[in-house]
Structure 1
Amino acid sequence: MKTIAVIGLGNMGGPMAANLAKEFNVRGFDVSDKARAALDAPTFDTAEEAAQGADAVLTMLPNGELVKKVIGSLLEADNGEKLYIDSSTIAVSDAREVAQMVQEAGSHFVDAPVSGGVAGATAGTLAFMVGGEEEAFAAAKPYLEVMGRSITHCGVSGNGQAVKACNNMILAVHQIVLAEALVLGERLGLDHQAFFDVVSNATGNSWALSVNAPVPDVVPGSPANNNFKPGFASALMLKDLNLAMVSAEETGTDTVLGKIAAEQYAKFVDSGHAGLDFSAIINEVRAKGQ
């Protein structure tokens, strides 16, 4: 049985590690004692100890600088050939820098960010978008299949992060325009259920409505039914939008609606709503024009 070290056992990494432990030997590390204690698998005091002797390393960390620091430290501590899978959401340029660093050390790397949130991580139904060489993708796939329902090879290193940024920019725009349409419907006297029944079966349908409807009692399981307790927090949406804006600037791409979405979520987060689900932005729309 192969061994995989999981570095980062937070809201996403913890359940991902738990699913991996069903099929592989898992060695875990997190800076949080609580996160380490929650994992029903061996944990260690340092990332380097956790990765020692492992066939693969999965990182799920908050930002690109930390990913570079941790993987750099692991490469220095153990120069044996390994597969590195980074499922953090980081800049495309950071992912490509890490890929080069890993390859120069004689190991293999894929960037494999995810979609599906905590619920998907727990259920093992995440969608993985993967960048990296074919050989590295083939090696990573058995691990990813334990954690996800959809695994797509998107091309060279960094392309997983690229498509994640593009996808979430679309999602943010959808969620905002859906909020605007719902509030407009409310003010015209339209019932939420009638709105949903028509739009979910018409050309205006989207994941933002059919799965993440920002009004209660329409879609079972949507955060709106639980005071917008996050499946995907507004702070994380803002992080992803900012990464998309960095890529847009680097490539000279005029993302008009993406820029508006980034500005709207920045205001929403700055006003104290970072911990709410990103669909809670409907409350900001309702507060305007009254």
Structure 2
Amino acid sequence: MSRIAFLGLGHMGLPMALNLVKAGHEVHGFDLVPAAIEAAQAAGITIASSGADAVAGSDVVITMFPAGKHVISAYQDELLAAAAPGTLFIESSTIAVDEAQAAHALAIAAGHRNIDAPVSGGVVGAENATLAFMVGASDEDFAAALPLLEAMGKRIVHCGGPGLGQAAKVCNNMILAVSQIVVGEAFVLGERLGLSHDALYDVAANASGQCWALTTNCPVPGPVPTSPANREYQPGFAGALMAKDLGLALKAIEQTSTDARMGRLAQELYATFAAGEGGGRDFSGIITDIRDGQV
């Protein structure tokens, strides 16, 4: 079993770290937020005095940070220098492709190994160890990381070399965002045409309109009892996070000169949604702004 430094013990990071403990690994955690440290201690995670302290003596370092700038800064300021030679760094934050590649280059230059392994599946997936991991790595490093990823997730896909895990994540979330918007639009249109939510759901869920945004994250109460719509759009996956991920998609669209009009529009709509009350609500809650004509 491995000694693992887990840095970033928020809503996603803490249950991921706990699943590694359940799998028999020795986990030393750290977070800059006192409330996150308190929650991790209460859950039984060993807390280090700093990120560098957690990394020292660890075989593997997993980071789950808010943005790419935090990853690069942490790598440069303390983590890479504190790690033993050849330490495997697993970067599971959702960051830009070029930031993932920059982090990889920094780790390699410091004598370490690095993979990007962003996740999909939300807090429920993190708690139940059913996350999907999209991995950018060499074949050797992917094989080394696989047992750890399998302790936290159900589906692990090797997407290619460094940065390509993040590339898959940004493309996937662009698909999801566009789907969630159009599902919301369809329900609002159905309401105004006199269709009940159940009738529209029963048709679309069993016809060509079927998609995850409908059958799992249904944006209206009733048809899918476990969807955020049945708990007043408590996330789940917050609108602010979707807006952030679409910002990464927009950056990639512009860097590659891709004609992605739906992706651009989704980014615009979610930026508006997140700037209002939608920032802390589940991203499926954008249907309420669609109803009110606010996006």
**In the alignment, does 2:94 pair up with 1:89?**
yes
* Cα distance, 1:79 vs structure 2: 4.3
**Contact 2:56/2:84 (<8 A) preserved:** no
**Contact 1:116/1:125 (<8 A) preserved:** yes
Amino acid at match of 2:59: D
Give CA-to-partner distance per residue, 1:155-205, whole Å, 9 cap, x none. Answer: 010000001000000101001111111100001110111111110010011
Q: Which of the residues 207, 225, 237 maps onto 1:220?
A: 225
* Cα distance, 1:41 vs structure 2: 2.0
* Cα distance, 1:106 vs structure 2: 1.7
SS in 2 for 1:274: helix
Amino acid at match of 1:169: M
Q: 1 CA distance for matches of 2:275 and 2:31?
A: 28
Amino acid at match of 2:153: G
**In the alignment, does 2:37 pair up with 1:36?**
yes
Q: Tell me what 1:14 maps to.
A: 14
Give CA-to-partner distance per residue, 1:69-113, whole Å, 9 cap, x none. Answer: 112221122342200001000000000011111112221111000
Q: Tell me what 2:134 maps to.
A: 129
Q: Tell me what 2:284 maps to.
A: 279
With normalisation by structure 1, the TM-score equals: 0.98
**Contact 1:79/1:105 (<8 A) preserved:** no
Q: Which of the residues 59, 63, 71 maps onto 2:63?
A: 59
Aligned length: 289
**Contact 1:233/1:278 (<8 A) preserved:** yes
Q: Tell me what 2:162 maps to.
A: 157
Can you give the 5+ residue segments of structure 1 that lack an aligned partner in the other structure?
A: none
Q: 2 CA distance for matches of 1:81 and 1:288?
A: 54
SS in 2 for 1:26: strand
**Contact 1:85/1:109 (<8 A) preserved:** yes
Amino acid at match of 1:221: T
**Contact 2:130/2:152 (<8 A) preserved:** yes
Amino acid at match of 1:123: N
**In the alignment, does 2:117 pair up with 1:116?**
no
Amino acid at match of 1:78: A
Q: 1 CA distance for matches of 2:101 and 2:15?
A: 27
Q: 2 CA distance for matches of 1:35 and 1:266?
A: 27
Q: 1 CA distance for matches of 2:150 and 2:45?
A: 19
Amino acid at match of 1:46: S
Q: Which runs of 4+ in 1 moved over 6 A?
A: none
* Cα distance, 1:132 vs structure 2: 1.1
Q: 2 CA distance for matches of 1:172 and 1:76?
A: 38
**In the alignment, does 2:171 pair up with 1:166?**
yes
Give CA-to-partner distance per residue, 1:248-283, whole Å, 9 cap, x none. Answer: 111110110000001111111112320000000000
Can you give the 5+ residue segments of structure 2 that lack an aligned partner in the other structure?
A: none
Q: 1 CA distance for matches of 2:272 and 2:31?
A: 31
Q: Tell me what 1:100 maps to.
A: 105
Q: 2 CA distance for matches of 1:149 and 1:79?
A: 30
Amino acid at match of 2:261: V
Amino acid at match of 2:20: L
Q: 2 CA distance for matches of 1:126 and 1:79?
A: 29
Bigger shift: residues 3-12 or 36-45: 36-45
**Contact 1:179/1:285 (<8 A) preserved:** yes
Q: 2 CA distance for matches of 1:269 and 1:95?
A: 25
* Cα distance, 1:37 vs structure 2: 2.5
Amino acid at match of 1:236: L
Q: How does 1:225-240 map to 2 (within 5 A)?
A: 225-240=230-245
Q: 2 CA distance for matches of 1:87 and 1:155?
A: 16
Amino acid at match of 2:125: G
Give CA-to-partner distance per residue, 1:203-225, whole Å, 9 cap, x none. Answer: 01110000000001110210000
CA RMSD of aligned residues (A): 1.0
* Cα distance, 1:33 vs structure 2: 2.4
Q: 2 CA distance for matches of 1:209 and 1:144?
A: 28
Q: Tell me what 2:5 maps to.
A: 5
> Kindly, what percent of the aligned residue pairs are identical?
52
SS in 2 for 1:128: strand
